[in-house]
Structure 1
């Protein structure tokens, strides 16, 4: 493995300095670049995760696809409600593609689609989606692929 490749790989590993924080849907982000000035009392308390486990959890479900980024928790929650409450995540890259080509969308979920959105988890989520897609493709016999 080349030195260049090894250095780039660090950008795709589990973010060590980014906390996974979910704020109440009605609490908007402050004007600062990060959430250091956001009110900690607005954080939704969840059971602690076992940080010693390095495996990734794969979720299967409905992905809402559209042509705009969702950065508002109340909008996110309303769309989920309007779609029957079964939406796993949102994405904006495959909306046009799916109209013209039959396809399967595999996404790495990197944020909560709220005003506290940041890019700290994007590369990690993308790397996991790519790895799982590769494994999925290896399971499909080549003779079953329609050309």
Structure 2
């Protein structure tokens, strides 16, 4: 089932559904230009995939011969109101960086017109109740403008642990677009992703609604509950995600330890941890593509693990990606 939507008054509006598929292609270079994508969107879980697909326009499904993945082609708005971004969305075969690298390589091979990739989905946030302005909460959005830190790709010499050589920096064009969104928020109080998260016009996304604030539980290393800093100090507006800009940690670890989490964050300075960004960054770099990572915060990497915020966090990240590409000029084929 494919959804079609449009922007009305700055808000994404659902306009029904149709069954639409492009037959399996042996290759995509000869595809009608209206479907040739320039942006690849990658997700690791069905919740993330469904959230991103919900914000695409003109959606169709496509299978490519000798590629195990199923792809969804669609469109997203660009800075040029007369042109759109053609995008291709896929769901990785598994979590972890190896699956992400493999999925990215398959996408690059099957869609040679793609020039940049975006990993979009959920991550564990790094709360900081002492430094209020850096405090990350559930439902927030972390944008990797300073890159991804592969914190398990290290060299150990004489008892000292050092990071090995990193891959390339994130997409300069998307970093600039993120900077413009941040400037709009600081000066014009404009946050286009918030309109997209108004689900009163999207009843089919009711399961992606923002959970109650009381379910945003924060624990210390002993398992005792902590108080979040006041919203006035941390810059959180009631009922909306705060967007954080910085770096994200990535490794093949399902991190559920507050002490380890905080030590890693202190050492490397990242705002969230996840398990795919490093694979996307390295694979994109090796395939000559720009890359970017956007994450919604579903938990804190501690022992209080539940799924209450996963869907909303995935939707928040997807809404930001739509807003981000809306600041980006179309990529010419």
Distance in 2 between the 1:109 and 1:146 partners? 33
Distance in 1 between the 2:237 and 2:250 partners? 33
The structure with the largest alpha-carbon Rg is 2
Post-superposition shift, 1:146? 7.4
Structure 1: unaligned runs, 5 residues or longer: 28-41
> Could you tell me which residue of structure 2 aligns to residue 107 of structure 1?
295
> Could you tell me which residue of structure 2 aligns to residue 73 of structure 1?
258
Q: Which 4+ stretches in 1 moved above 2 angstroms?
A: 5-8, 46-56
Post-superposition shift, 1:127? 0.4
> Could you tell me which residue of structure 2 aligns to residue 35 of structure 1?
none
Structure 2: unaligned runs, 5 residues or longer: 1-13, 18-53, 55-201, 285-289
Q: 1:89 aligns with which of 261, 272, 289?
A: 272
Distance in 2 between the 1:146 and 1:119 partners? 40
The total of aligned residue pairs comes to 128
Q: CA RMSD for the aligned pairs?
A: 2.6
Give the conservation status (yes or no) of the 8 Å contact 1:107–1:129.
yes
Post-superposition shift, 1:72? 1.1
1:73-125 Cα shifts (integer Å, max 9, x gaps): 11211211331xx2100011222121121311000011100111211101101
Q: Structure 1 residue 57 and structure 2 residue 253: aligned? A: no
- Residues 119-138 of structure 1 correspond to what in structure 2 (within 5 A)? 119-138=307-326
Deviates more, 1:128-137 or 1:18-27: 18-27
Change (3 A) 1:52 1:68: closer
Distance in 2 between the 1:46 and 1:109 partners? 15
Q: 1:46 aligns with which of 206, 228, 236?
A: 228
What secondary structure, in the 3-state scheme, does the structure 2 residue paired with 1:114 have? coil
Give the conservation status (yes or no) of the 8 Å contact 1:65–1:90.
yes
1:22-54 Cα shifts (integer Å, max 9, x gaps): 111232xxxxxxxxxxxxxx2112345589833
What secondary structure, in the 3-state scheme, does the structure 2 residue paired with 1:15 have? coil
Higher helix residue share: 1
> Could you tell me which residue of structure 2 aligns to residue 118 of structure 1?
306
Change (3 A) 1:100 1:146: farther
